[in-house]
Amino acid sequence: MNRSILWLLFISNLLGTLYGYYWYQDQLIETFNTHPLWQIIFVPDSPTASLFFTIAILFLLFPPRSKAWQVIRKVIEGLAVVTSVKYGIWAITMIVAGAALGDDLVWQHYMLMTSHLAMAVEALIYVPFFTCGLGALLIALGWTWLNDTVDYTYGIFPYLSNRLTAHLATVRNFTFTLTFVSFVMGWITMRMSHQTRNR
């Protein structure tokens, strides 16, 4: 909770978020041109997860005082935990699965695996310092399942290699399952941190 560490996390995650949206630019443009406008928000999965975590860190730096902002804070924190863990693990799994099926790995893949691992780890590290409870995590679970549903109903899931696309049903099932697993991981970490504080 050292403020220097928090500012470092805030800045690094903000930069990563901006880069993530840039990474999605082609799919965002394609979706804008070929899909209803409302689907745009469901396209950039990892950058939006990183955005939630960035805002959650900002709330640690500047805790809100009003009741309304405290509720918003809890929801953002819940979204930060579930989505960061989910998309952090998801991206790594897809890259490794693609490589196992014969995809060539380039330096960008290693960069993505490192950054997405950091997303998942930092979210779980900061659960004890967040104010979110089970309710906020359930809201995040619902939102993320909605995102999964839109992705695989309307075909706006993150671009996959041809080898992975051949196994789309498996990818879809894994994605929905991972959302629930990420919720459970966040809830267990939260419960463990609360029990530790109450000893």
Q: What is the mean pLDDT of the chain?
A: 96
Q: What is the pLDDT of residue 198?
A: 62
Q: What is the pLDDT of residue 193?
A: 83
**SS in 3 state form for 95-110?**
HHHHHHCCCCCCHHHH
For the chain, how long is the longest CA-to-CA vector? 56
List pLDDT tens digits, range 58-84: 999 999 999 999 999 999 999 999 999
Instruction: Give the C-alpha separation, 160 to 5, whole Å.
Output: 35
Q: What three-state secondary structure class fits 66?
A: coil
User: Does position 199 have pLDDT exceeding 70, yes or no?
Assistant: no
Indicate the pLDDT class of residue 195, thresholds 50, 70 and 90: confident
Q: What three-state secondary structure class fits 130?
A: coil
List pLDDT tens digits, range 5-62: 999 999 999 999 999 999 999 999 999 999 999 999 999 999 999 999 999 999 999 9
Tracing tokens 């690094």 back to the chain, one arrives at: 12
Q: Which two tokens stand for residue 169?
A: 């049903």
